């Protein structure tokens, strides 16, 4: 019995040493394979096994408590480690999402500021263009008003003999009236004639016989011709693509004096036709 007991104690001692070395070595592998929800059930079993070994080893003084401590303490670490890792991973994910959200908000803010600045720059550009166009339009209007006065003065005081017409004016071109007499526009309160829509290059005929008093470029009118028919009556033709008469030349009724076009302040091919009495414009429809 003594020999058998000694052999048993020797075997238990060797088992204790083996477990004492094996448990710490196996615990990292167990911690990576076993889920955290399973470990609370394993730890009590490990503690019970350690307690049983302690009771056995207490009889032979082999230090079973150290084995129990290794089992229990490492089991607790196994229980805590998965939770700590998961908690750290979750907190890291939350922090990363917060950083991404902040970065996205900053990007949206920068984009909004850029778009706002672009819109402001666009409005400034458009406003500058409008102001520039308005200045040019006002200058053109002043020029046209001054030219109207000059034309009126030239036609109200004719010099030299004139061939008197029949008093019956013919249409200088055949076409629809696209703008009536004294039509109000953005750049003028009263359109000083009628616009007759015809293609560019249409021959323009003298409405009556007379002498050419104006033939040349007159700003808003473009290529402009006026014919003095009587001491008081004149007709004028604007926006011509080509003038075919000269100042002082006598013309007969129906004679081609030029070709229609769109020169000067013009938005499409047509003939601007005027009738003037003592240089002042009047409604051409009362004489055609």
User: What pLDDT, in 10s, does the model give residues 232-288?
Assistant: 999 999 999 999 999 999 999 999 999 999 999 888 999 999 999 999 999 999 999
216, containing H or E segment: strand 210-218
Length of the chain equals 288
Q: Is the pTM of the predicted complex or chain greater than 0.75?
A: no
Instruction: Kindly report, residue by residue over 67-116, the tens digit of the pLDDT.
Output: 445 445 545 554 555 556 766 777 888 888 888 888 888 888 888 888 88
Query: pLDDT band at residue 131, thresholds of 50, 70 and 90?
Result: confident
Least confident residue range of 41-50, 136-145, 180-189 = 41-50
- Summarize the confidence of residues 110-135 as an average pLDDT: 79
Query: pLDDT band at residue 190, thresholds of 50, 70 and 90?
Result: confident
Q: Are 271 and 262 a contacting pair, CB within 8 Å?
A: no
- Summarize the confidence of residues 45-67 as an average pLDDT: 53
Q: Are 194 and 180 a contacting pair, CB within 8 Å?
A: yes
- Summarize the confidence of residues 215-229 as an average pLDDT: 94
- Residue 67 pLDDT: 47
**In 10 A of CB 178, how many CB atoms?**
15
- Summarize the confidence of residues 139-144 as an average pLDDT: 66
**In 10 A of CB 152, how many CB atoms?**
16
- Summarize the confidence of residues 216-225 as an average pLDDT: 92
Residue with tokens 């672009």: 118
195, containing H or E segment: strand 194-196
- Summarize the confidence of residues 104-132 as an average pLDDT: 82
Side-chain-side CA neighbours of 61 within 13 Å: the count stands at 0
- Residue 115 pLDDT: 83
State the chain's mean pLDDT as an integer: 75
- Summarize the confidence of residues 36-62 as an average pLDDT: 55
Q: Does 159 have pLDDT greater than 70?
A: no
Distance from C-alpha of 2 to C-alpha of 140, rounded to nearest angstrom: 133
Long-range contacts of 49-58 (CB under 8 A, 24+ apart): 53/16, 53/19, 56/12, 57/12, 57/13, 57/16
Instruction: Tokens for 73, please give them.
Output: 């303490």
Query: pLDDT band at residue 134, thresholds of 50, 70 and 90?
Result: low
CA distance between the termini of the chain: 153
């Amino acid at each position: 019995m003594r020999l058998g007991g000694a052999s048993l104690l020797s075997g238990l001692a060797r088992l204790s040493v083996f477990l004492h070395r094996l448990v710490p070595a196996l615990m990292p592998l167990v911690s990576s394979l076993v889920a955290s929800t399973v470990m609370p059930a394993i730890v009590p079993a490990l503690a019970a096994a350690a307690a049983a070994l302690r009771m056995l080893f207490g009889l032979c003084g082999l230090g079973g408590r150290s084995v129990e401590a290794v089992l229990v303490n490492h089991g607790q670490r196994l229980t805590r480690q998965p939770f700590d890792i998961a908690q750290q991973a979750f907190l890291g994910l939350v922090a990363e999402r917060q950083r991404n959200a902040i970065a996205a908000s900053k990007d949206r803010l920068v984009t909004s500021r850029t778009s706002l600045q672009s819109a402001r720059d666009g409005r400034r550009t458009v406003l500058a263009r409008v102001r520039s166009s308005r200045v040019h339009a006002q200058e053109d209007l002043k020029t046209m008003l001054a030219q109207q006065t000059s034309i009126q003065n030239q036609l109200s005081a004719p010099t030299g003999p004139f061939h008197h017409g029949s008093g019956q004016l013919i249409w200088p071109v055949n076409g629809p009236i696209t703008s009536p007499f004294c039509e109000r526009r953005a750049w003028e309160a009263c359109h000083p004639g009628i616009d007759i829509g015809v293609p560019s290059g249409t021959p323009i005929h003298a409405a009556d016989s007379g002498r050419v008093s104006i033939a040349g470029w007159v700003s808003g009118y473009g290529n402009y011709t006026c014919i003095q028919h009587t001491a008081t009556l004149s007709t004028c033709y604007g926006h011509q693509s080509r003038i075919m008469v000269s100042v002082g030349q006598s013309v007969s009724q129906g004679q081609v004096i030029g070709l229609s076009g769109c020169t000067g302040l013009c938005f499409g091919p047509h003939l601007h036709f005027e009738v003037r009495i003592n240089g002042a414009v009047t409604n051409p429809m009362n004489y055609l």
